[in-house]
Chains A and B, each alone.
Chain A
């Protein structure tokens, strides 16, 4: 049985756990803990170790989805989680611009760990106060070649679209590498 993995990362409360839960065929194995920091008390609990979801591709191949802990003090986990990943998704809460800078920082950190393809998912696009995609691209200082995708982490089709775009990026990168050689 072959296994591959993708990592879902992003700031605290960006919607990483929901994203994985929406497509995982198993109940997400999630280590959650009550929030300790006052500043981060916008939800009751947070992921402290990792979320772990699974999609069986066929009898010989399984895709695992790993969600990173959102709170900064658990960032020592990121490097471990990033090892061997196919690619990664940076989740950003479109309605919380105060987290954009951190999202950018997480993105740079992951790129330094592993130069694999990635996409950025602008989550919570269904909320009234969410930012426009074009505005978010500027705020996040994203290169025009990087895919910034609208997303609603609790909507299956939306999550599928993000995963597919990442996979297309992985294929495109493989083709580009073949041309270079």
Chain B
């Protein structure tokens, strides 16, 4: 029977554990809320991983890992577009541009990074296709899953903690009014500056994440850091209608009646 299910019921950590313990060979296909991924295993070891929305070709992976410059990458793409990953890898090794170990290490890091991103997916449908491996022209690896599972569990805990801290991404950010808070004296990373440049009570955190191409974990991490540093405060986005209490008597009463009601309560509390 095919291994199928929902990530709400069976987490990525549990799936990897199962694949590891059962030494399974096959491909796990995950349809997430906004992305989908394919992760292949051979005898319980990670062999291949890709996000379907991204260019996972060897040339791109090597370029993203700073093995090649942009101009080298462009040349590769232009001249080797017809080559498979295996053919390109052999060509680069034989030409002395990279070593076999460079290629393997880069691909291993890329696959692990791809799987790590999956740990924060809490919604999605998964299917495990027994025996299915990536096409023959792809380079595959053999990476033990134990360390990936441990790192994934750490990330999951961090994710849960960040969700507790920043439960609602529809909230906006504003720079704190606290005297003494001075952005000029603060050292921020490029990613943090990107977020800072969008801080405005009109932009929700979700909108900032979209504009800066960050996932929920990345944006929460940065916002949490800025909150902890006391540089920003969470506010309700400007222009968003406030939810009106449905059952509250205050919703219907007019302003003067409301004030009178509050003053009556004040009088009563004072007399207790």
Binding site for B on A (CB under 8 A): 2-4, 23, 55-58, 61, 63, 83-86, 101-102, 104-105, 108-109, 111-116, 138, 141, 143-144, 156, 160, 163-164, 167-168, 170-171, 174, 178
Instruction: Identify the closest chain B residue to A161 (Cβ).
Output: B269
- Interface pair A160/B270, CB less than 8 Å apart: yes
Binding site for A on B (CB under 8 A): 164-168, 170-171, 176-178, 227, 230, 233-234, 236, 242-243, 245-251, 255, 258-259, 261-270, 272
Given the known interface contacts A86-B250, A108-B234, A115-B243, the answer about A63 and B177 at a Cβ–Cβ threshold of 8 Å is no
Our pick among B176, B247, B255 for the contact of A83 (Cβ within 8 Å) is B247
Kindly list chain B residues whose C-beta atoms are within 8 Å of the C-beta of A85: 245, 248
10 sampled A-B residue pairs with Cβ under 8 A: A55-B272, A86-B248, A105-B165, A105-B167, A108-B234, A112-B167, A114-B245, A116-B245, A163-B269, A171-B263
Kindly list chain B residues whose C-beta atoms are within 8 Å of the C-beta of A101: 164-165
Report the Cα distance A88→B177, complex, angstroms.
Answer: 23
Report the Cα distance A164→B268, complex, angstroms.
Answer: 10
Our pick among A58, A102, A109 for the contact of B268 (Cβ within 8 Å) is A58
Closest 6 CB pairs of A and B: A84-B248, A84-B247, A84-B245, A57-B268, A112-B168, A167-B266
Given the known interface contacts A4-B250, A108-B234, A115-B236, the answer about A174 and B258 at a Cβ–Cβ threshold of 8 Å is yes
- Interface pair A61/B168, CB less than 8 Å apart: no
Report the Cα distance A144→B180, complex, angstroms.
Answer: 13
Our pick among A58, A105, A114, A178 for the contact of B264 (Cβ within 8 Å) is A58
- Interface pair B246/A61, CB less than 8 Å apart: no
Our pick among B170, B227, B246, B249 for the contact of A2 (Cβ within 8 Å) is B249
Kindly list chain A residues whose C-beta atoms are within 8 Å of the C-beta of B166: 108
Kindly list chain B residues whose C-beta atoms are within 8 Å of the C-beta of A86: 248, 250, 262
Given the known interface contacts A85-B248, A174-B259, the answer about A112 and B171 at a Cβ–Cβ threshold of 8 Å is yes
Kindly list chain B residues whose C-beta atoms are within 8 Å of the C-beta of A102: 164
Report the Cα distance A56→B259, complex, angstroms.
Answer: 18
Q: A23-B272, A55-B265 are in contact. List 17 more A-B contacts (CB 8 A).
A: A2-B261, A4-B250, A4-B261, A55-B268, A55-B269, A57-B267, A86-B262, A108-B166, A108-B171, A112-B236, A164-B269, A164-B270, A167-B265, A167-B269, A168-B266, A170-B262, A171-B259
Report the Cα distance A174→B233, complex, angstroms.
Answer: 23
Kindly list chain A residues whose C-beta atoms are within 8 Å of the C-beta of B178: 144
- Interface pair B264/A61, CB less than 8 Å apart: yes
Kindly list chain A residues whose C-beta atoms are within 8 Å of the C-beta of B170: 112
Kindly list chain B residues whose C-beta atoms are within 8 Å of the C-beta of A56: 268
Kindly list chain B residues whose C-beta atoms are within 8 Å of the C-beta of A61: 261, 264-265
Instruction: Identify the closest chain B residue to A57 (Cβ).
Output: B268
Instruction: Identify the closest chain B residue to A22 (Cβ).
Output: B272
Kindly list chain A residues whose C-beta atoms are within 8 Å of the C-beta of B258: 174
- Interface pair A3/B249, CB less than 8 Å apart: yes
Instruction: Identify the closest chain B residue to A168 (Cβ).
Output: B266
Report the Cα distance A170→B165, complex, angstroms.
Answer: 27
Chain B nearest CB, measured from A47 CB (Å):
20
Instruction: Identify the closest chain B residue to A3 (Cβ).
Output: B249
Kindly list chain A residues whose C-beta atoms are within 8 Å of the C-beta of B250: 4, 84, 86
Report the Cα distance A62→B22, complex, angstroms.
Answer: 63
